[in-house]
Structure 1
Protein backbone atom coordinates (compact mmCIF):
# COMPACT_ATOMS: atom_id res chain seq x y z
CA UNK A 1 0.00 0.00 0.00
CA UNK A 2 1.18 3.53 -0.76
CA UNK A 3 -0.25 6.79 0.54
CA UNK A 4 0.57 10.25 -0.81
CA UNK A 5 -0.54 13.62 0.55
CA UNK A 6 -3.43 12.20 2.59
CA UNK A 7 -5.46 14.73 4.60
CA UNK A 8 -8.66 13.95 6.52
CA UNK A 9 -11.11 16.20 8.37
CA UNK A 10 -13.89 15.07 10.68
CA UNK A 11 -16.49 17.77 11.05
CA UNK A 12 -14.59 21.04 10.98
CA UNK A 13 -11.45 19.63 12.53
CA UNK A 14 -8.41 18.56 10.52
CA UNK A 15 -7.29 15.17 11.87
CA UNK A 16 -4.63 14.12 9.34
CA UNK A 17 -2.40 16.44 7.35
CA UNK A 18 -0.33 15.50 4.31
CA UNK A 19 0.45 11.89 5.24
CA UNK A 20 2.92 9.99 3.05
CA UNK A 21 3.70 6.35 3.81
CA UNK A 22 4.26 2.94 2.28
CA UNK A 23 3.74 -0.60 3.53
CA UNK A 24 5.67 -3.14 1.47
CA UNK A 25 5.25 -6.87 1.16
CA UNK A 26 7.18 -8.84 3.80
CA UNK A 27 7.23 -5.87 6.15
CA UNK A 28 5.73 -5.19 9.59
CA UNK A 29 5.29 -1.46 10.11
CA UNK A 30 4.33 -0.18 13.58
CA UNK A 31 2.28 3.00 13.83
CA UNK A 32 3.11 4.91 17.03
CA UNK A 33 1.96 8.12 18.67
CA UNK A 34 0.16 9.48 21.73
CA UNK A 35 -3.60 9.47 22.18
CA UNK A 36 -5.18 11.79 19.63
CA UNK A 37 -2.22 11.65 17.24
CA UNK A 38 -4.44 10.36 14.42
CA UNK A 39 -3.46 6.67 14.34
CA UNK A 40 -6.98 5.25 14.36
CA UNK A 41 -8.23 7.81 11.84
CA UNK A 42 -5.35 6.88 9.54
CA UNK A 43 -6.21 3.18 9.78
CA UNK A 44 -9.86 3.98 9.07
CA UNK A 45 -8.90 6.10 6.06
CA UNK A 46 -6.70 3.33 4.68
CA UNK A 47 -9.61 0.95 5.18
CA UNK A 48 -11.87 3.26 3.18
CA UNK A 49 -14.13 3.95 6.18
CA UNK A 50 -13.61 7.73 6.17
CA UNK A 51 -13.26 9.99 3.16
CA UNK A 52 -10.09 11.97 2.55
CA UNK A 53 -10.09 15.68 1.83
CA UNK A 54 -7.23 15.08 -0.55
CA UNK A 55 -4.48 12.61 -1.29
CA UNK A 56 -4.17 9.18 -2.86
CA UNK A 57 -4.32 5.66 -1.44
CA UNK A 58 -3.16 2.82 -3.66
CA UNK A 59 -3.05 -0.91 -3.14
CA UNK A 60 -0.68 -2.71 -5.50
CA UNK A 61 -0.43 0.48 -7.62
CA UNK A 62 -4.21 0.58 -8.06
CA UNK A 63 -6.41 3.28 -6.46
CA UNK A 64 -8.22 1.88 -3.44
CA UNK A 65 -11.63 3.11 -4.65
CA UNK A 66 -11.25 1.20 -7.92
CA UNK A 67 -10.98 -2.20 -6.25
CA UNK A 68 -14.07 -4.40 -6.36
CA UNK A 69 -15.03 -5.40 -2.82
CA UNK A 70 -14.81 -9.21 -3.29
CA UNK A 71 -11.29 -8.92 -4.69
CA UNK A 72 -10.24 -6.38 -2.06
CA UNK A 73 -11.46 -8.61 0.77
CA UNK A 74 -9.12 -11.37 -0.37
CA UNK A 75 -6.06 -9.12 -0.29
CA UNK A 76 -6.70 -6.68 2.57
CA UNK A 77 -8.19 -7.22 6.01
CA UNK A 78 -8.83 -4.67 8.77
CA UNK A 79 -9.12 -5.02 12.55
CA UNK A 80 -10.50 -1.85 14.20
CA UNK A 81 -9.56 -0.77 17.70
CA UNK A 82 -12.83 -1.98 19.17
CA UNK A 83 -15.19 -4.70 17.96
CA UNK A 84 -18.37 -4.89 20.05
CA UNK A 85 -19.97 -8.26 19.35
CA UNK A 86 -23.20 -8.97 21.26
CA UNK A 87 -24.58 -11.80 19.13
CA UNK A 88 -24.39 -15.30 20.70
CA UNK A 89 -21.81 -16.65 18.26
CA UNK A 90 -19.11 -19.13 19.22
CA UNK A 91 -15.43 -18.46 18.67
CA UNK A 92 -15.43 -20.90 15.78
CA UNK A 93 -18.41 -19.20 14.13
CA UNK A 94 -16.81 -15.75 14.43
CA UNK A 95 -13.58 -16.91 12.78
CA UNK A 96 -15.63 -18.53 10.03
CA UNK A 97 -16.99 -15.08 9.13
CA UNK A 98 -13.58 -14.43 7.58
CA UNK A 99 -14.02 -17.35 5.15
CA UNK A 100 -17.44 -16.96 3.46
CA UNK A 101 -18.41 -18.94 0.37
CA UNK A 102 -15.76 -21.61 0.85
CA UNK A 103 -15.61 -25.39 0.86
CA UNK A 104 -16.59 -26.59 4.35
CA UNK A 105 -13.55 -28.84 4.73
CA UNK A 106 -11.14 -26.12 3.61
CA UNK A 107 -12.72 -23.57 5.94
CA UNK A 108 -12.50 -25.99 8.88
CA UNK A 109 -8.80 -26.54 8.19
CA UNK A 110 -8.06 -22.81 8.21
CA UNK A 111 -10.06 -22.27 11.40
CA UNK A 112 -8.23 -25.12 13.15
CA UNK A 113 -4.86 -23.66 12.13
CA UNK A 114 -5.72 -20.20 13.46
CA UNK A 115 -7.22 -21.54 16.69
CA UNK A 116 -3.93 -23.27 17.44
CA UNK A 117 -1.80 -20.40 16.18
CA UNK A 118 -3.41 -17.83 18.51
CA UNK A 119 -3.84 -20.18 21.49
CA UNK A 120 -7.64 -20.16 21.47
CA UNK A 121 -8.43 -23.81 20.62
CA UNK A 122 -9.90 -24.32 24.09
CA UNK A 123 -12.31 -21.42 23.43
CA UNK A 124 -13.69 -22.62 20.11
CA UNK A 125 -17.16 -23.56 21.42
CA UNK A 126 -17.44 -20.66 23.88
CA UNK A 127 -19.82 -17.79 23.13
CA UNK A 128 -17.64 -14.79 22.27
CA UNK A 129 -19.58 -12.23 24.42
CA UNK A 130 -18.71 -14.37 27.49
CA UNK A 131 -14.94 -14.19 26.86
CA UNK A 132 -12.52 -11.80 28.50
CA UNK A 133 -11.34 -8.72 26.61
CA UNK A 134 -8.01 -10.31 25.75
CA UNK A 135 -9.64 -13.54 24.58
CA UNK A 136 -12.08 -11.62 22.40
CA UNK A 137 -9.19 -9.67 20.91
CA UNK A 138 -7.45 -12.87 19.86
CA UNK A 139 -10.69 -14.23 18.37
CA UNK A 140 -11.18 -11.07 16.31
CA UNK A 141 -7.57 -11.21 15.15
CA UNK A 142 -8.10 -14.81 14.06
CA UNK A 143 -11.18 -13.72 12.08
CA UNK A 144 -9.19 -11.00 10.32
CA UNK A 145 -6.24 -13.28 9.61
CA UNK A 146 -8.64 -15.91 8.22
CA UNK A 147 -9.75 -13.42 5.60
CA UNK A 148 -6.33 -13.38 3.90
CA UNK A 149 -4.97 -16.70 5.14
CA UNK A 150 -3.32 -18.74 2.36
CA UNK A 151 -4.74 -16.41 -0.32
CA UNK A 152 -2.58 -16.13 -3.46
CA UNK A 153 -1.09 -12.76 -4.34
CA UNK A 154 -0.36 -9.72 -2.14
CA UNK A 155 -1.85 -9.61 1.36
CA UNK A 156 -2.19 -6.62 3.66
CA UNK A 157 -3.31 -6.42 7.30
CA UNK A 158 -4.36 -3.13 8.93
CA UNK A 159 -4.53 -3.63 12.70
CA UNK A 160 -5.51 -0.96 15.22
CA UNK A 161 -4.22 -1.88 18.70
CA UNK A 162 -4.68 -5.62 18.26
CA UNK A 163 -2.79 -6.43 21.49
CA UNK A 164 -3.97 -3.71 23.90
CA UNK A 165 -6.02 -6.10 26.11
CA UNK A 166 -3.50 -8.95 26.14
CA UNK A 167 -1.25 -10.12 28.95
CA UNK A 168 2.53 -9.92 28.28
CA UNK A 169 2.83 -13.58 27.24
CA UNK A 170 0.06 -13.31 24.66
CA UNK A 171 1.39 -9.97 23.42
CA UNK A 172 4.63 -11.73 22.60
CA UNK A 173 2.77 -14.63 21.01
CA UNK A 174 0.66 -12.37 18.81
CA UNK A 175 3.59 -10.32 17.58
CA UNK A 176 5.59 -13.47 16.89
CA UNK A 177 2.71 -14.64 14.69
CA UNK A 178 2.44 -11.26 12.95
CA UNK A 179 6.19 -11.20 12.33
CA UNK A 180 6.01 -14.68 10.80
CA UNK A 181 3.14 -13.53 8.58
CA UNK A 182 5.34 -10.69 7.34
CA UNK A 183 8.22 -13.09 6.74
CA UNK A 184 5.80 -15.19 4.67
CA UNK A 185 5.20 -12.20 2.36
CA UNK A 186 2.34 -10.18 3.86
CA UNK A 187 2.47 -6.46 4.58
CA UNK A 188 1.25 -5.29 7.99
CA UNK A 189 0.51 -1.85 9.44
CA UNK A 190 -0.07 -2.18 13.18
CA UNK A 191 -1.07 0.72 15.44
CA UNK A 192 0.39 0.04 18.88
CA UNK A 193 1.10 1.94 22.11
CA UNK A 194 3.76 -0.42 23.45
CA UNK A 195 7.03 1.16 22.28
CA UNK A 196 9.19 -1.76 23.32
CA UNK A 197 6.97 -4.32 21.62
CA UNK A 198 7.12 -2.26 18.44
CA UNK A 199 10.91 -1.95 18.69
CA UNK A 200 11.27 -5.68 19.17
CA UNK A 201 9.21 -6.84 16.19
CA UNK A 202 8.67 -4.04 13.66
CA UNK A 203 10.84 -3.59 10.59
CA UNK A 204 9.93 0.08 10.46
CA UNK A 205 8.27 2.59 12.77
CA UNK A 206 6.06 5.55 11.88
CA UNK A 207 5.78 8.01 14.78
CA UNK A 208 2.79 10.36 14.51
CA UNK A 209 2.01 13.57 16.35
CA UNK A 210 -0.84 16.04 15.83
CA UNK A 211 -2.05 14.28 12.70
CA UNK A 212 1.32 14.28 10.94
CA UNK A 213 4.26 11.93 10.54
CA UNK A 214 6.85 13.15 13.03
CA UNK A 215 9.55 10.52 12.38
CA UNK A 216 9.93 7.36 10.32
CA UNK A 217 12.59 4.69 10.05
CA UNK A 218 14.04 1.72 11.88
CA UNK A 219 13.47 1.46 15.67
CA UNK A 220 16.90 2.81 16.56
CA UNK A 221 16.34 5.90 14.43
CA UNK A 222 12.81 6.70 15.62
CA UNK A 223 12.96 5.80 19.31
CA UNK A 224 15.37 8.44 20.51
CA UNK A 225 15.24 10.32 23.79
CA UNK A 226 14.64 13.56 21.89
CA UNK A 227 11.72 12.16 19.87
CA UNK A 228 10.08 10.62 22.96
CA UNK A 229 10.34 13.92 24.82
CA UNK A 230 8.97 15.93 21.88
CA UNK A 231 6.04 13.64 21.04
CA UNK A 232 5.07 12.03 24.34
CA UNK A 233 6.59 14.47 26.83
CA UNK A 234 8.34 11.37 28.17
CA UNK A 235 11.59 11.63 30.08
CA UNK A 236 13.28 8.31 29.26
CA UNK A 237 16.57 6.77 28.38
CA UNK A 238 16.99 4.44 25.43
CA UNK A 239 19.37 1.48 25.61
CA UNK A 240 20.38 -0.77 22.73
CA UNK A 241 19.91 -4.38 23.74
CA UNK A 242 22.30 -7.16 22.64
CA UNK A 243 19.42 -8.51 20.53
CA UNK A 244 19.78 -5.42 18.36
CA UNK A 245 16.70 -3.36 19.19
CA UNK A 246 16.28 -0.42 21.59
CA UNK A 247 14.63 -0.57 25.00
CA UNK A 248 12.78 2.50 26.29
CA UNK A 249 13.14 3.01 30.05
CA UNK A 250 11.27 5.95 31.62
CA UNK A 251 13.27 7.84 34.21
CA UNK A 252 11.86 8.00 37.71
CA UNK A 253 10.53 11.45 38.46
CA UNK A 254 11.21 13.11 41.81
CA UNK A 255 8.45 12.49 44.33
CA UNK A 256 7.48 9.17 42.77
CA UNK A 257 7.69 5.89 44.60
CA UNK A 258 10.61 3.61 43.56
CA UNK A 259 9.53 1.03 41.05
CA UNK A 260 10.80 -2.42 40.19
CA UNK A 261 12.86 -2.98 37.07
CA UNK A 262 10.88 -2.40 33.84
CA UNK A 263 9.46 -5.30 31.93
CA UNK A 264 10.16 -5.69 28.19
CA UNK A 265 6.57 -4.53 27.49
CA UNK A 266 6.78 -1.32 29.47
CA UNK A 267 4.63 1.09 27.46
Structure 2
Protein backbone atom coordinates (compact mmCIF):
# COMPACT_ATOMS: atom_id res chain seq x y z
CA UNK A 1 0.00 0.00 0.00
CA UNK A 2 1.18 3.53 -0.81
CA UNK A 3 1.87 6.01 1.98
CA UNK A 4 -0.69 8.82 1.75
CA UNK A 5 0.26 10.75 4.89
CA UNK A 6 3.54 10.72 6.80
CA UNK A 7 4.23 12.56 10.04
CA UNK A 8 7.85 12.62 11.18
CA UNK A 9 8.83 13.77 14.66
CA UNK A 10 5.98 16.26 14.90
CA UNK A 11 5.54 18.29 18.05
CA UNK A 12 3.34 21.24 18.92
CA UNK A 13 3.87 23.66 21.78
CA UNK A 14 2.01 26.80 22.80
CA UNK A 15 4.06 28.79 25.26
CA UNK A 16 5.44 26.33 27.78
CA UNK A 17 2.66 23.82 27.16
CA UNK A 18 3.44 20.81 24.99
CA UNK A 19 0.35 19.61 23.12
CA UNK A 20 2.05 17.03 20.89
CA UNK A 21 5.36 15.35 21.66
CA UNK A 22 7.50 13.79 18.91
CA UNK A 23 4.89 11.80 17.00
CA UNK A 24 5.71 9.58 14.04
CA UNK A 25 2.79 8.25 12.03
CA UNK A 26 2.27 6.82 8.54
CA UNK A 27 -1.14 6.30 6.95
CA UNK A 28 -1.40 4.14 3.84
CA UNK A 29 -3.89 3.92 1.01
CA UNK A 30 -6.83 1.69 1.91
CA UNK A 31 -6.02 1.74 5.64
CA UNK A 32 -8.42 2.64 8.45
CA UNK A 33 -6.83 4.12 11.58
CA UNK A 34 -8.52 5.17 14.82
CA UNK A 35 -7.00 7.61 17.32
CA UNK A 36 -8.13 6.98 20.89
CA UNK A 37 -7.24 8.28 24.34
CA UNK A 38 -8.62 10.16 27.34
CA UNK A 39 -9.82 13.76 27.30
CA UNK A 40 -6.94 16.15 26.73
CA UNK A 41 -4.69 13.48 25.21
CA UNK A 42 -4.15 15.54 22.05
CA UNK A 43 -6.27 13.46 19.66
CA UNK A 44 -8.07 16.32 17.91
CA UNK A 45 -4.92 18.44 18.01
CA UNK A 46 -3.05 15.67 16.23
CA UNK A 47 -5.76 15.32 13.58
CA UNK A 48 -5.84 19.08 13.01
CA UNK A 49 -2.05 19.09 12.65
CA UNK A 50 -2.17 16.20 10.18
CA UNK A 51 -4.84 18.04 8.18
CA UNK A 52 -2.74 21.28 8.03
CA UNK A 53 -5.30 23.19 10.11
CA UNK A 54 -2.52 23.59 12.67
CA UNK A 55 1.20 23.93 11.92
CA UNK A 56 3.57 21.76 13.92
CA UNK A 57 6.25 23.49 15.97
CA UNK A 58 8.67 20.69 15.14
CA UNK A 59 8.86 17.92 12.55
CA UNK A 60 7.11 17.56 9.22
CA UNK A 61 3.81 16.34 7.79
CA UNK A 62 3.79 15.15 4.18
CA UNK A 63 0.68 14.47 2.13
CA UNK A 64 1.33 12.28 -0.91
CA UNK A 65 5.07 12.88 -0.55
CA UNK A 66 4.84 16.68 -0.41
CA UNK A 67 4.98 18.95 2.63
CA UNK A 68 1.36 19.51 3.55
CA UNK A 69 1.80 23.27 3.85
CA UNK A 70 3.16 23.44 0.30
CA UNK A 71 -0.30 22.56 -1.05
CA UNK A 72 -2.68 25.46 -1.66
CA UNK A 73 -6.07 25.29 0.12
CA UNK A 74 -7.76 24.41 -3.18
CA UNK A 75 -5.24 21.64 -3.87
CA UNK A 76 -5.64 20.27 -0.35
CA UNK A 77 -9.42 20.22 -0.64
CA UNK A 78 -9.12 17.88 -3.63
CA UNK A 79 -6.82 15.47 -1.78
CA UNK A 80 -8.07 15.32 1.78
CA UNK A 81 -11.53 15.85 3.25
CA UNK A 82 -12.01 16.53 6.96
CA UNK A 83 -15.13 16.43 9.09
CA UNK A 84 -14.46 18.67 12.08
CA UNK A 85 -15.65 17.92 15.59
CA UNK A 86 -18.03 20.88 15.71
CA UNK A 87 -19.73 22.30 12.61
CA UNK A 88 -22.42 24.94 13.14
CA UNK A 89 -24.70 26.21 10.38
CA UNK A 90 -27.12 28.94 11.46
CA UNK A 91 -28.35 29.96 8.03
CA UNK A 92 -31.44 28.17 6.68
CA UNK A 93 -29.62 26.02 4.12
CA UNK A 94 -31.39 22.80 3.25
CA UNK A 95 -29.71 19.43 3.65
CA UNK A 96 -29.27 19.20 -0.12
CA UNK A 97 -27.69 22.66 -0.28
CA UNK A 98 -25.22 21.78 2.50
CA UNK A 99 -24.26 18.50 0.83
CA UNK A 100 -23.76 20.32 -2.49
CA UNK A 101 -21.19 22.59 -0.82
CA UNK A 102 -18.81 19.66 -0.87
CA UNK A 103 -18.43 19.95 -4.64
CA UNK A 104 -16.25 23.09 -4.35
CA UNK A 105 -15.94 24.82 -7.70
CA UNK A 106 -17.31 21.92 -9.74
CA UNK A 107 -20.48 22.60 -11.70
CA UNK A 108 -23.53 21.20 -9.92
CA UNK A 109 -24.74 19.39 -13.03
CA UNK A 110 -21.47 17.45 -13.23
CA UNK A 111 -21.73 16.13 -9.64
CA UNK A 112 -25.47 15.77 -9.16
CA UNK A 113 -25.19 11.97 -9.19
CA UNK A 114 -22.49 12.12 -6.50
CA UNK A 115 -24.66 14.40 -4.36
CA UNK A 116 -27.67 12.12 -4.72
CA UNK A 117 -25.59 9.08 -3.83
CA UNK A 118 -24.15 10.72 -0.70
CA UNK A 119 -27.58 11.81 0.54
CA UNK A 120 -28.89 8.28 0.07
CA UNK A 121 -25.83 6.70 1.69
CA UNK A 122 -26.30 8.63 4.95
CA UNK A 123 -30.07 8.03 4.91
CA UNK A 124 -31.29 11.60 4.49
CA UNK A 125 -33.35 11.40 1.29
CA UNK A 126 -36.61 12.09 3.14
CA UNK A 127 -35.03 15.14 4.81
CA UNK A 128 -33.17 16.57 1.83
CA UNK A 129 -35.40 19.67 1.62
CA UNK A 130 -35.44 20.36 5.37
CA UNK A 131 -33.46 23.34 6.64
CA UNK A 132 -30.43 22.17 8.57
CA UNK A 133 -31.09 24.12 11.82
CA UNK A 134 -34.45 22.34 12.17
CA UNK A 135 -32.81 18.90 12.35
CA UNK A 136 -31.50 16.96 15.32
CA UNK A 137 -27.78 17.01 16.09
CA UNK A 138 -27.33 13.54 14.65
CA UNK A 139 -29.17 14.41 11.44
CA UNK A 140 -27.03 17.52 11.03
CA UNK A 141 -23.90 15.43 11.57
CA UNK A 142 -24.98 13.02 8.85
CA UNK A 143 -25.60 15.92 6.45
CA UNK A 144 -22.07 17.22 7.05
CA UNK A 145 -20.69 13.71 6.59
CA UNK A 146 -22.47 13.54 3.22
CA UNK A 147 -20.93 16.91 2.31
CA UNK A 148 -17.48 15.52 3.09
CA UNK A 149 -18.19 12.41 1.02
CA UNK A 150 -19.02 14.63 -1.95
CA UNK A 151 -15.79 16.57 -1.47
CA UNK A 152 -13.82 13.33 -1.27
CA UNK A 153 -15.48 11.91 -4.39
CA UNK A 154 -14.83 15.05 -6.43
CA UNK A 155 -11.17 15.05 -5.45
CA UNK A 156 -10.69 11.35 -6.08
CA UNK A 157 -12.30 11.63 -9.52
CA UNK A 158 -9.53 14.05 -10.46
CA UNK A 159 -6.53 12.76 -8.51
CA UNK A 160 -7.18 9.18 -7.37
CA UNK A 161 -7.63 7.85 -3.83
CA UNK A 162 -7.35 10.51 -1.16
CA UNK A 163 -7.58 10.96 2.59
CA UNK A 164 -10.74 11.01 4.74
CA UNK A 165 -10.29 12.57 8.20
CA UNK A 166 -13.01 12.38 10.86
CA UNK A 167 -12.91 14.10 14.27
CA UNK A 168 -15.32 12.36 16.66
CA UNK A 169 -17.78 11.70 13.80
CA UNK A 170 -20.11 9.54 15.90
CA UNK A 171 -20.53 11.88 18.88
CA UNK A 172 -24.12 12.81 17.93
CA UNK A 173 -25.14 9.56 16.26
CA UNK A 174 -27.34 6.76 17.56
CA UNK A 175 -26.06 3.18 17.44
CA UNK A 176 -27.53 2.41 14.04
CA UNK A 177 -25.93 5.40 12.39
CA UNK A 178 -22.61 4.86 14.17
CA UNK A 179 -22.43 1.45 12.53
CA UNK A 180 -23.54 2.93 9.21
CA UNK A 181 -20.71 5.50 9.35
CA UNK A 182 -18.20 2.72 10.00
CA UNK A 183 -19.51 0.74 7.03
CA UNK A 184 -19.46 3.79 4.74
CA UNK A 185 -15.87 4.51 5.77
CA UNK A 186 -14.91 0.89 5.20
CA UNK A 187 -16.35 1.01 1.66
CA UNK A 188 -14.18 4.04 0.93
CA UNK A 189 -11.11 2.24 2.27
CA UNK A 190 -11.79 -0.74 0.00
CA UNK A 191 -11.65 1.72 -2.90
CA UNK A 192 -8.21 2.91 -1.77
CA UNK A 193 -9.07 5.90 0.43
CA UNK A 194 -6.96 6.30 3.57
CA UNK A 195 -9.26 6.88 6.55
CA UNK A 196 -8.32 8.24 9.97
CA UNK A 197 -10.75 9.08 12.78
CA UNK A 198 -10.72 10.28 16.38
CA UNK A 199 -13.04 8.03 18.38
CA UNK A 200 -13.97 7.81 22.07
CA UNK A 201 -15.72 4.45 22.07
CA UNK A 202 -13.03 1.76 22.20
CA UNK A 203 -15.41 -0.97 21.06
CA UNK A 204 -16.36 1.12 18.06
CA UNK A 205 -12.68 1.81 17.36
CA UNK A 206 -12.03 -1.94 17.24
CA UNK A 207 -14.86 -2.37 14.75
CA UNK A 208 -13.69 0.63 12.72
CA UNK A 209 -9.93 0.30 12.51
CA UNK A 210 -7.16 -1.81 11.03
CA UNK A 211 -4.83 0.09 13.37
CA UNK A 212 -5.41 1.96 16.60
CA UNK A 213 -3.19 4.82 17.77
CA UNK A 214 -3.44 5.26 21.55
CA UNK A 215 -2.53 8.68 22.96
CA UNK A 216 -1.91 10.12 26.41
CA UNK A 217 -0.63 13.60 27.30
CA UNK A 218 0.26 14.48 23.72
CA UNK A 219 2.28 11.35 23.03
CA UNK A 220 1.60 8.07 21.25
CA UNK A 221 1.59 5.26 23.81
CA UNK A 222 0.77 2.43 21.39
CA UNK A 223 0.23 1.99 17.66
CA UNK A 224 -0.87 -1.36 16.28
CA UNK A 225 -3.73 -3.71 15.56
CA UNK A 226 -6.76 -3.75 17.88
CA UNK A 227 -5.43 -6.94 19.50
CA UNK A 228 -2.07 -5.26 20.16
CA UNK A 229 -3.47 -2.00 21.52
CA UNK A 230 -6.72 -2.81 23.34
CA UNK A 231 -5.19 -4.69 26.25
CA UNK A 232 -5.78 -4.46 30.02
CA UNK A 233 -2.25 -3.10 30.55
CA UNK A 234 -2.51 -0.32 27.95
CA UNK A 235 -6.00 0.66 29.08
CA UNK A 236 -4.79 0.78 32.70
CA UNK A 237 -1.83 3.01 31.79
CA UNK A 238 -3.74 5.33 29.50
CA UNK A 239 -7.23 5.59 31.01
CA UNK A 240 -6.50 4.81 34.69
CA UNK A 241 -9.11 2.08 34.83
CA UNK A 242 -9.08 -1.65 35.45
CA UNK A 243 -11.04 -3.63 32.88
CA UNK A 244 -11.19 -7.15 31.53
CA UNK A 245 -10.77 -7.43 27.78
CA UNK A 246 -12.77 -10.27 26.24
CA UNK A 247 -12.48 -11.67 22.72
CA UNK A 248 -15.07 -12.43 20.09
CA UNK A 249 -15.03 -15.77 18.26
CA UNK A 250 -12.84 -14.26 15.55
CA UNK A 251 -10.40 -12.87 18.13
CA UNK A 252 -11.43 -9.20 18.17
CA UNK A 253 -11.12 -7.60 21.63
CA UNK A 254 -14.06 -5.92 23.36
CA UNK A 255 -14.72 -4.24 26.69
CA UNK A 256 -17.68 -4.61 29.02
CA UNK A 257 -18.26 -1.22 30.73
CA UNK A 258 -20.03 -2.90 33.65
CA UNK A 259 -16.70 -4.39 34.72
CA UNK A 260 -14.65 -1.19 34.61
CA UNK A 261 -13.18 0.18 37.82
CA UNK A 262 -11.46 3.48 38.29
CA UNK A 263 -7.93 3.39 39.67
CA UNK A 264 -7.55 5.68 42.68
CA UNK A 265 -4.10 7.06 43.26
Shared fold (TM-score, shorter chain, > 0.5): yes
How far the C-alpha of 1:253 sits from its partner, in A, is 6.5
1:30·1:204 contact (CA, 8 Å) conserved in 2?
Answer: yes
**Aligned partner (choices 218, 222, 245) of residue 252 of structure 2:** 245
Q: Unmatched 5+ residue regions in structure 1?
A: 255-267
**Aligned partner (choices 194, 216, 231) of residue 209 of structure 1:** 216
Cα distance in 2 between the residues matched to 1:253 and 1:65: 43
Residues 106 and 174 of structure 1, relative CA distance in 2, 3 Å threshold: same
Cα distance in 2 between the residues matched to 1:9 and 1:87: 36
**Aligned partner (choices 134, 141, 150) of residue 137 of structure 1:** 141
Pairing 1:19-168 to 2, within 5 Å after superposition: 19-149=23-153, 150-151=156-157, 152-168=159-175
Pairing 1:217-256 to 2, within 5 Å after superposition: 217-252=224-259
Stretch moving more, 146-155 or 229-238: 146-155
Matched, 1:170 2:177: yes
More helix by share: 2
How far the C-alpha of 1:12 sits from its partner, in A, is 3.4
Report the 3-state secondary structure (helix = DSSP H, G, I; strand = E; otherwise coil) of the residue aligned with 2:78.
helix
Please list the CA deviations of residues 82-119 of structure 1 after superposition, one character each: whole Å capped at 9, or x if unmatched. Answer: 01111110111111111022233232211110011111
Q: Unmatched 5+ residue regions in structure 2?
A: none
Report the 3-state secondary structure (helix = DSSP H, G, I; strand = E; otherwise coil) of the residue aligned with 1:98.
helix
Cα distance in 1 between the residues matched to 2:226 and 2:186: 15
Root mean square deviation, CA, Å: 1.4
How far the C-alpha of 1:243 sits from its partner, in A, is 3.4
**Aligned partner (choices 181, 194, 201) of residue 201 of structure 2:** 194
Q: Which runs of 4+ in 1 moved over 4 A?
A: none
Cα distance in 2 between the residues matched to 1:158 and 1:101: 21
1:235·1:251 contact (CA, 8 Å) conserved in 2?
Answer: no
Stretch moving more, 70-79 or 175-184: 70-79
- TM-score, with structure 1 as normaliser: 0.91
2:241·2:260 contact (CA, 8 Å) conserved in 1?
Answer: no
Query: Which residue is equivalent to 1:265?
Result: none
Cα distance in 1 between the residues matched to 2:165 and 2:105: 23
1:235·1:250 contact (CA, 8 Å) conserved in 2?
Answer: no
Cα distance in 2 between the residues matched to 1:244 and 1:253: 21
How far the C-alpha of 1:140 sits from its partner, in A, is 0.8
How far the C-alpha of 1:11 sits from its partner, in A, is 4.1
- State how many pairs are aligned: 254
- TM-score, with structure 2 as normaliser: 0.92
Report the 3-state secondary structure (helix = DSSP H, G, I; strand = E; otherwise coil) of the residue aligned with 1:122.
helix
